[in-house]
Amino acid sequence: MMRTYVRAVVKDRKGRVLKDTGWVKTNTLTKNFYAFLHSAMHVQNTPCTRSDGTAGTIERPVGGTHAFMSLNGYEGEDTEGIVVGTGATEPTRDDYALESKIPHGTGTGQLYYYANDIFYGSDYVEARRTFANQSGADITVREVGLMARYWDVDAGGYRYALIARSLFTITIPAGGSATLYYKISG
Does residue 27 have a pLDDT over 80? no
Position 1 scores a pLDDT of 79
Tens digits of residue pLDDT in 86-139: 999 999 999 999 999 999 999 999 999 999 999 999 999 999 999 999 999 999
pLDDT value at 33 more than 90: yes
Supply the pLDDT for residue 45.
Answer: 92
Q: From the CB of residue 184, how many other CB atoms can be counted at a distance below 10 Å?
A: 20
Question: Once rounded to an integer, what is the mean pLDDT over residues 15-21?
Answer: 98
Cβ atoms of residues 161 and 50 within 8 Å: yes
Band of the pLDDT at 65, cuts 50, 70, 90?
Answer: confident
The residues near 37 (Cβ < 8 Å, ≥ 6 apart) are none
pLDDT of 64 reads 63
Residue 82 in this model has a pLDDT that exceeds 80: yes
Q: Is it the case that residue 9 has pLDDT exceeding 90?
A: yes
Residue 50 and residue 56 in contact, taking contact as beta carbons nearer than 8 Å: yes
- Mean pLDDT, the chain, whole residue set: 95
At 124 the pLDDT is 95
Give the residue from 155, 165, 178, 137 showing the smallest Cα distance to 47: 155
Write the burial class of residue 39 (CB in 10 Å: 0-12 exposed, 13-18 middle, 19+ buried).
Answer: buried
Q: State residue 63's pLDDT score.
A: 63
- CA distances 25 to 43, 185, 186, Å, are 31, 10, 12
Once rounded to an integer, what is the mean pLDDT over residues 42-59?
95
Report which of 89, 103, 84 is spatially closest to residue 162, judged by C-alpha positions: 84
Give the model's pLDDT for residue 2. 86
d(CA 19, CA 9): 6
Find the mean pLDDT for residues 42-66. Answer: 90
